[in-house]
Amino acid sequence: MQKTDPYIEIRPYKDEELPMAINRLLKNKGFISSLVNFIPDIPLNILVKKIKRVQNIKEFQDEIFVKICHNLIERSIDKVTVSGYENLDKSKSYLFLANHRDIIMDSAILQIFLNSQHDKICLSCIGDNLLSSQILTDVAKVCNMFTITRNGTAREMVMNSKLVSEYIRSNIVEEGNSVWIAQRNGRTKDGLDKTQQSVLKMLYSSKKDVDIYDSLKQLNIVPLTISYEFEPCDNLKAREVLLTKKNKKYVKTPEEDFKSMSAGIFDYKSQVHLHFGHVINSDIDENLTFSCDNEKLQYICSLIDKQMYRNYHLFPNNYIAYDMLNNSNQFQEQYTDMHKRDFMQHIRKRANIDDVVFFKMKQQLLTIYANPVNALMTLNENER
């Protein structure tokens, strides 16, 4: 009797499932138009034949989606730089616990870099709220994405969380695959990257027969920090924060996730920096005493956040925003008059929307860019 696959609903496609997915993709007009748009150097008829001949998931990613992602990066990013990767042991698998600034590009940039290094498979998570159609599901599942369920009863959410935790642990500890997951549910809206305790609680839920430290150490957690010179969807994030403050609750319209995905991909970002931190295991002080498990989890969150704040790559825009908000010239040596002129032109353009006051939008946009500076300064002060 064949063993049932416990992860079939959430895992990426396997090689034997690829032909059916390819068949659906090639019947979809949106997918075909994407091929024409993002792989323009190969005639469509030849590209379709090439896709039909693909034998496995890895080949499909290398031949199709890597090319599409390269094109996306070239259209919206001037330069991608990477640091810290050289310090990782390439024979090991890691849980890359990442700050979350863009729905698609955060993990896509990581995947493109790892592909260029011929590194092992790295799975990425995606919320099921973003998979609103079969085409989006097929694209995600042939790109090594696994699904996190966002809705359900309390009991269903606990069960789904444990299933995802087991899947992540199985891949890292048993299969030798690395995994990318965001440090929080949803993107950072205010520029301040904070790890949600619920994420660590989820990761721990699959191995609760040992101490929290031992359970999480098995995952080789590496804080991964991505920094954008121009924040993707900064205007949408600022608007959401302000409307939430005004109405106490922000309710998304059905098309907003897709709008954010599209804007995040195509918004001009200038430079992007990706920093691989070090495994947090060596930072954990097991001599510290805590009254409960939640305090232990919060302590680990703080260790991750420290690396995030210290490893965030500060661009001139961040320093300009800090000085503007504080009416100071504290960091004027970090930027030129041209930097400031271009950045303020960007802020004025993004602050001009219909349903929020211009001044409030401007201040919130500046806050998004200034908060990484605030976080680092606060960290340095606390460690003195």
What's the pLDDT score for residue 311? 98
In 87-211, which residue ranges form alpha helices assigned H by DSSP? 105-116, 134-141, 154-169, 197-204
Report the mean per-residue pLDDT for the chain. Answer: 94
pLDDT digit string (tens) for 178-221? Answer: 999 999 998 999 999 999 999 999 999 999 999 999 999 999 99
Average pLDDT over residues 327-344: 97
Q: Tell me the CA distances in angstroms from 179 to 94, 170, 203, one per residue in order.
A: 6, 11, 12
Query: Counting Cβ atoms within 10 Å, is residue 314 exposed (0-12), middle (13-18) or buried (19+)?
Result: middle
What's the pLDDT score for residue 118? 83
CATH 3.40.1130.10 range(s) for the chain read 74-232+267-313
pLDDT digit string (tens) for 124-160? Answer: 999 998 888 899 999 999 999 999 988 889 899 999 9
Q: Are 144 and 123 in contact (CB under 8 A)?
A: yes
Is residue 236's pLDDT more than 90? Answer: yes
And the tokens for 107? 């993990």
CA distance 17 to 178: 22
pLDDT digit string (tens) for 97-113? Answer: 999 999 999 999 999 99
**Architecture of the domain made up of 74-232+267-313:** 3-Layer(aba) Sandwich (3.40)
Q: Which of 58, 51, 216, 199 is nearest to 122 (CA)?
A: 58
CA distance 281 to 97: 13
Is residue 254's pLDDT more than 80? Answer: no
Give the three-state DSSP class for 227: strand
What's the pLDDT score for residue 1? 46
- Spatial strand order of the sheet with 122-127 comes to 77-83, 270-276, 221-228, 95-98, 178-182, 122-127, 145-148
Q: Are 355 and 345 in contact (CB under 8 A)?
A: no
**Residue at token pair 């939430």:** 244
pTM of the model: 0.95
Q: Tell me the CA distances in angstroms from 127 to 20, 57, 238, one per residue in order.
A: 23, 21, 22
In the chain, which residue ranges form alpha helices assigned H by DSSP? 18-26, 29-38, 44-52, 57-60, 66-76, 105-116, 134-141, 154-169, 197-204, 212-217, 234-247, 256-266, 293-311, 316-325, 337-351, 358-382
pLDDT digit string (tens) for 27-39? Answer: 999 899 988 888 9
Q: Are 312 and 375 in contact (CB under 8 A)?
A: yes
Q: Tell me the CA distances in angstroms from 157 to 164, 202, 381, one per residue in order.
A: 10, 10, 39
